[in-house]
Structure 1
Amino acid sequence: MCKFFGIAMFCVVLFLGITHAESLKLIAEEDVPKSVRDLYDGFDPDKEPLEVKVLKEFEQDRVIIQMLTFTVGKFKGVKSRISGFYGYPRDAKVRVPALIQLHGGGQRAEMRSVKYAAQNGYACLALNWGGRPLEGSEGLEGTDWGAVDATQKGHNSHYGSLMPDQLTIDQFESPRNSNWFLIVLAGMRGVSFLQSQDKVDADKIGVFGHSMGGKLTVMLTGADNRIKAASPSCGGCGAAPKPIRQWASSGVRPLRSPLYHQTIDDAQYLKEIKVPILYLGPTNDFNGILDVMYANWRNLRSKNVAYSVTPHMNHRSIPEHAISSILFFNDHLKGKFKFPSTPKLQVQTKGTGEMAVAKILPEMGRLVEKVEVLYSNDPHILTRFWRTEGAEKVNGHWEANVPLLGSMKPVHVLANIYYRLETEVEFYPSKRNVPNTFGVSTEMKTFRPEPGNAKMRAPVRVIESNFDSYEDWYRLEWNNPNWWSAYTRKIKDPMHIAPVGSNLVIDVKSEKGGAIFFEIKDNYWNAFPQKPKGNYYARVDFEGSSDWQKISVSLGDFKPMDDRTTSPLRSWERVTELGIRGRVAVVRDGKRVELPERSSKYRWPEPREFKNLRWEGGKYLSP
């Protein structure tokens, strides 16, 4: 009897010891957190020792950089440790503000992000939550989540699922089973790490991240009030609210479980944020869906909300917008730059109602270099073509006409204000030179034309008469003589749709000659639900000439770019995007093939001369 009692007491003591050692308290299914505040209640990021281990320390370009690991917590009896880079300016004489960088999906903590922040006067911690080996980490320990897993490689299902499995904390549906929750805990411990560093001003910590890192930026900012400024990129918009989900063909994602949307969805974290926050992203991003972002960000409690929206891009920003993030931090963490407040935008119908007027009232008017108004009535957010109108200065504000587009669909309007940059700032090496201006965006306004005011306009055959500005395009690798490309969604616009049976034609001037590729994205992002979709290319080789040459392609000239595209391109009707390229990479029998095969023969450096992109032949059908 005594022996049995002793064993029982030992088990109780052992259980209590394990329970006490856990970083999260044990809960019953009926006690599952139902809100953001409940989810993090009771977790003290300062309570347990960080057990920091510096694996390497070195100096690059006047920046001291450490590769390190520290403990996130103890879960299911096993410690979780995360790796990353920490850096700070070598010559800092006083404590400096600090930033946390949260990488995106499939990526890893970046040394260059730490250097970029330090060269702008910040300490920076880049957290390697995804677990990929760090640059220069061969033979060294890395991220090890232990008995749980927050990585895409080991537990990818649990960015959406809250259900239990062998790698989750709870054995019932719970937000504590989400990968996102674990990474936010790591971020909170990262804040504690920064606050413990003698180079860091503990009261001035910000956070930034791209894509999945953008969502994590919003989550960490909403969960941890020690964060004082934030700048998510291409993420952090939350689930679409009901009015947007009800649009036909809006392009938004389906909802997850009710508990997910109460505790993990970005929209709930936005409601907790009181600090300055800047959204960085493009108009056509698949992850930071523009209309959803604008709708949910209206629920922020912060009095200082800013936007910087790149036209036409998907999942990246041009330099004039990308640089806005560090400038925003320079204002709100350093106090050494004045970042403009979000400009006011007013939209009113004009005269007979066939035209609206966008009125923009930016502050710091002496620094305004140009103002552009973007507008569209396409309900599919991801493949929407945004028309552009340059605004003119009128009595201290800026105005642009917004022609109504010939339907009763809601019209979406926003404006970009480009300010002259008059301060020294370092920029990402990958972005090349520091731009002369930086872009700040208004909120987006949506209105529905009055019945009878929007007159139908006949389509035109010319898509682009000249390529002086590429205003309606986005360009990638434009300085690369082989892999340059330019894309537009203009051919989806009702004004530029193709006549039935027409050819796509462009005039080209090149003394060297070579090859040009057209790329077609058909029904991209399911813009036309329940219709076929695919990705196609057409190649045209041509001789060099000092004269303009006509290049023409038909539907039959296009071939599938990959094995997923199984049917031929039969119509221009559902084309959502057109690309003009110097090279393409196609997939044949599962293998990547680059065309042209001999890239050196087909180098096409700038300037590239194009004009009169148009439809020829065929006919428009009567409406």
Structure 2
Amino acid sequence: MRCCLSLLVGLLSVGFSFGQLVETLPPLADGKSPQDFQQMWNGFDPQAEPLEVEVLHQWEEDDVVLKVLRYRVGVFKGRTAMLAAVYGYPKTAVTTPIPGLVQIHGGGQYADYKACLTNAKRGYATISLAWAGRISAPGYQVSPAEVKLFWNGQTDAPNYRVTTDWGAVDGYHAPGRNPRNHFPSAGPAEWTLDSIESPRNSGWFLCALAARRALTFLERQPEVDPHRLGVYGHSMGGKLTVLTSVDPRVKAAAPSCGGISDRENESAVFRATLGDGISLQQIKCPIMFLSPANDFHGRIGDLPKSVAELQSKAWRVTCSPHHNHQDTSEYEVATQLWMDQNLYGRFQMPATPQTELQPETEDSIPRLTIKPDVGHKVLGVDVYYTFDGKANEGPQDRLDTMHRFWHHASATQQGDQWVAQVPLTTTEKPLWVYANVRYPLEQKITAAGYYYGIYEADQFNLSSLITRVPAETLVAAKVKVTLMPTSLIDDFQTSWQHDWFAYREPYWAKTTNKLRDLRWQPPKDAQLVLEASSPQPNQLVLLMDQYAAVVKFAGGNEKQEFVFKPSDFKNHDGERLAHWNEVRTLKLSPAERLRPGRGSQDPATLLGGQWKGDSPTFHELRWE
């Protein structure tokens, strides 16, 4: 009898029963596709089914308990789906329940133990979801190669690892298990839940459902306070954060680079159910949007409508200038601070900076007034504006979005407000403008960033919403163009670094989008001249989009002049740059890899090398 009982328990633990498994989702009502948010989620109870947790690997690091595990997502088309994840919490949480976080990776990325480890050191339990099957953890690495071993059931392979099993459906991505599986599609296929067009067929829906089940996992852990749950994620994980935050158990959310701009799908069914605005309208919890100003996936121009769609009135935005799909510490740390405020009550986030743009002024130069929360010490106020925004910007504008140039304007304090002039280069294009306010942190915060790089932040940034002014309004206000075209691209004085950017601070390599701005267009037959110096002999790489040129420093800090024609820049295949007119970016760095075109198997070409000694000094960049 004892043997039979053990067998029964074993069968139940892996999702079998003596009868047919009960489906997680009900059949479509009258065989019709869900047409709205309520119909899409109809019949789903994220707390109803057992979790059937399987621990695959466990270890401890720095007084943090870490596990690779799987939990039951649900039953679809008669088969159980299990999601793999990394879970971690501080050992001290055994006596005092702590907040729990769901962390959701982006496309092509992994569930990663570093998110769980760094969050645990700050007092959080975290489950990092491997919705695509990939896992990064000591002693348990699952790359796309291991995912395929799992798909093929190659249990005798040395690198075989148990990972996410979507069963009869396909929530995998990059790659999907089925080559024709695309997340933006609601169409039917042999691996989809419904046999007609339905939002329940999309990987977005499946992964959001799995993330809501992760909330159930957290609330059932003895070390977690079930009333203090948060969710955050990057890129595709940003959209999934928004889809998940409709769950009333979520008390704080922080999507980065996603969740605001998926609105143009060809399918009316998809737009009415899985479009970002649909879920945003359901969100009642406090939410922080991390939206770099040049991000292609979560466009800054969509932020005003996104916050207007929320039911929640507790929101903030942080927008780094020039950045696309990456950020630096003062922006990334907003996630940790938002969770600290809303799940711990140990931090108070300043209010959103209020701005007012006055196009019509006595000197015909627009003026922006910024009112930050002066109840907190302000380190600085910066204004950024561009003429590269479009009224109905969409996915088709991806390259323009990623490479637009943001002018910088310094703001001066006048009592409790700051004022900045916004000089224009044109009145024939719309003006987009916003303000950043920087605040100090009383204590440095260490955490894992968007791609799990460990950063340390000693300050943070809050942004205003963007103000967009049509060209017609500028003309009607009789605004003057005061920023005239010039051959001097940069003199590298004072605040020049506001026009350039880098993701690896404080490393000196910098990138700019200045060359596509109206003010710095090259004269006909112009040459590019760079004056720079280096203490030691070194190589400097100038990268223009995918074309590069290499120059050598003699060393000794003597200023050297380097002169370039377009043909001096070559791509991976040796093709020369034809002209300057279509260049989007310029990067100055010690080394670069030129990669072949899409689909090529050729290796990348390494230019430059390890930099020796102190950073170079740039003196002047100009057309001649």
**Same fold per superposition (TM over 0.5):** yes
**SS at structure 2 position matched to 1:427:** strand
**Partner residue of 2:10?**
none
Indicate which of 350, 357, 370 corresponds to 1:347.
357
Cα pair 1:148 1:167 within 8 Å, conserved: yes
**Partner residue of 2:462?**
440
Matches within 5 A, 1:379-398: 379=389, 380-398=400-418
**CA deviation after TM superposition for structure 1 residue 17, in Å:** 6.1
Structure 1, 376-385 or 32-41: larger mean CA deviation:
376-385
**Partner residue of 2:254?**
231
Cα pair 1:582 1:604 within 8 Å, conserved: no
Residues 562 and 26 (structure 1), Cα distance of their counterparts in 2 relative to 1, 3 Å cut: farther
Matches within 5 A, 1:463-502: 463-466=489-492, 469=495, 470-477=497-504, 485-502=509-526
Residues 180 and 48 (structure 1), Cα distance of their counterparts in 2 relative to 1, 3 Å cut: same
> Take 1:467 and 1:383, find their aligned partners in 2: how far apart are those partners?
23
Indicate which of 553, 560, 567 corresponds to 1:556.
567
**SS at structure 1 position matched to 2:335:** helix
**CA deviation after TM superposition for structure 1 residue 468, in Å:** 5.8
Q: Which runs of 5+ in 1 are unaligned?
A: 1-15, 241-253, 522-534, 617-623
CA-based RMSD: 2.2
Matches within 5 A, 1:98-177: 98-135=100-137, 136-137=139-140, 139-152=160-173, 153=175, 154-155=177-178, 157-177=181-201
Deviations 1:360-408 (A, max 9, x none): 1111444111000111121343322111112111021111111133223
> Take 1:23 and 1:160, find their aligned partners in 2: how far apart are those partners?
22
**Partner residue of 2:595?**
587
**TM-score relative to the length of structure 2:** 0.86
> Take 2:387 and 2:305, find their aligned partners in 1: how far apart are those partners?
17
Deviations 1:348-368 (A, max 9, x none): 124346211111111144411
- Please tell me the residue identity of whatever aligns with 1:319: S
Residues 262 and 604 (structure 1), Cα distance of their counterparts in 2 relative to 1, 3 Å cut: farther
**Partner residue of 1:516?**
540
Cα pair 1:158 1:177 within 8 Å, conserved: no
Cα pair 2:328 2:503 within 8 Å, conserved: no
State how many pairs are aligned.
Answer: 564
Deviations 1:557-614 (A, max 9, x none): 1112469xxx6422222222111121121235632234337x3xx5244422111011
**SS at structure 1 position matched to 2:238:** helix
**TM-score relative to the length of structure 1:** 0.86
Indicate which of 384, 398, 402 corresponds to 2:422.
402
> Take 1:455 and 1:237, find their aligned partners in 2: how far apart are those partners?
33
Residues 176 and 353 (structure 1), Cα distance of their counterparts in 2 relative to 1, 3 Å cut: farther
Cα pair 1:290 1:381 within 8 Å, conserved: no
Cα pair 1:160 1:256 within 8 Å, conserved: no
Indicate which of 347, 351, 358 corresponds to 2:368.
358
- Please tell me the residue identity of whatever aligns with 1:558: F
Cα pair 1:280 1:317 within 8 Å, conserved: no
Cα pair 1:237 1:297 within 8 Å, conserved: no
**SS at structure 1 position matched to 2:401:** coil
Cα pair 2:47 2:216 within 8 Å, conserved: yes
**Partner residue of 2:97?**
95
**SS at structure 2 position matched to 1:346:** strand
**SS at structure 1 position matched to 2:338:** helix
Residues 150 and 431 (structure 1), Cα distance of their counterparts in 2 relative to 1, 3 Å cut: closer
Matches within 5 A, 1:178-193: 178-193=202-217
> Take 1:542 and 1:609, find their aligned partners in 2: how far apart are those partners?
11
Cα pair 1:286 1:314 within 8 Å, conserved: yes
Deviations 1:201-234 (A, max 9, x none): 1011000001110110011012x11111100011
Q: Which runs of 5+ in 2 are unaligned?
A: 1-17, 141-158, 390-399
**Partner residue of 2:13?**
none
Identity rate, percent = 34
Indicate which of 336, 341, 345 corresponds to 1:335.
345
**CA deviation after TM superposition for structure 1 residue 478, in Å:** 5.3
Cα pair 1:283 1:310 within 8 Å, conserved: yes
**Partner residue of 2:435?**
415
Indicate which of 219, 223, 246 corresponds to 1:199.
223
Residues 146 and 518 (structure 1), Cα distance of their counterparts in 2 relative to 1, 3 Å cut: same
> Take 1:603 and 1:594, find their aligned partners in 2: how far apart are those partners?
18
**SS at structure 1 position matched to 2:269:** helix
**SS at structure 2 position matched to 1:298:** helix
Cα pair 1:586 1:592 within 8 Å, conserved: no
> Take 1:194 and 1:239, find their aligned partners in 2: how far apart are those partners?
29
> Take 1:370 and 1:555, find their aligned partners in 2: how far apart are those partners?
39
Residues 431 and 45 (structure 1), Cα distance of their counterparts in 2 relative to 1, 3 Å cut: closer
Residues 206 and 493 (structure 1), Cα distance of their counterparts in 2 relative to 1, 3 Å cut: same
> Take 2:510 and 2:70, find their aligned partners in 1: how far apart are those partners?
42
**CA deviation after TM superposition for structure 1 residue 293, in Å:** 3.0
**Partner residue of 1:12?**
none
